[in-house]
Amino acid sequence: MANKKGGNMVSKDQLGAWSFILGLALAIILAFVAVDLTWLLILAGVIVGLLNVQDKEVTQFLVAAIALILVGSAGINVLGIPLILQNIVVFVAPAAAIVSIKAIYTVGRK
């Protein structure tokens, strides 16, 4: 097993960051191809929700996710790219759900 600094191990932060980048890239790419990989966007969102959002970022992430989900769910043609926006919502919604549950658990635990 290699150590974190010089080895092959992927840290929790790196996995979360890469899943976020992958999710956004997939959301954009899938808007232009006729392949339904919604499950992959959802999986990337779950990983982001579990690994990528730190405690100090919860409020900012949830406010941004709520705004994005509202705009994406409104069915309006924002910037002429409704399918990309819908895909990003599919990616962000599971992350927001997990971060919300974690926040509720943290508040309830106190």
Indicate whether 45 belongs to any domain: yes
Helix (H, G, I), strand (E, B) or coil at 54: coil
How does DSSP classify residue 51? H
**Environment class of residue 40 by beta-carbon count within 10 Å: exposed (0-12), middle (13-18) or buried (19+)?**
middle
Whole-angstrom Cα distance, residue 66 to residue 69? Answer: 5
Full residue range of the structural domain in which residue 91 is found: 12-109
Residue-wise pLDDT for 53-100, tens only, equals 778 888 998 999 999 888 877 766 655 567 888 888 999 999 999 999
Give pTM, 2 decimals.
Answer: 0.77
CB of 68 closer than 8 Å to CB of 22: no
Whole-angstrom Cα distance, residue 1 to residue 8? Answer: 8
Overall number of domains in the chain: 1
Indicate whether 3 belongs to any domain: no
Indicate whether 2 belongs to any domain: no
Q: How far is CA 100 from CA 18, 42, 68, 94, in A?
A: 21, 16, 15, 10
Indicate whether 1 belongs to any domain: no
CA angle 24, 29, 18 (to 5 degrees): 35
Residue-wise pLDDT for 25-59, tens only, equals 999 998 888 888 889 999 989 988 988 877 888 89
Whole-angstrom Cα distance, residue 41 to residue 23? Answer: 6
Indicate whether 5 belongs to any domain: no
Indicate whether 55 belongs to any domain: yes
Q: What is the helix (H) or strand (E) element at residue 93, kind and residue range? A: helix 82-109
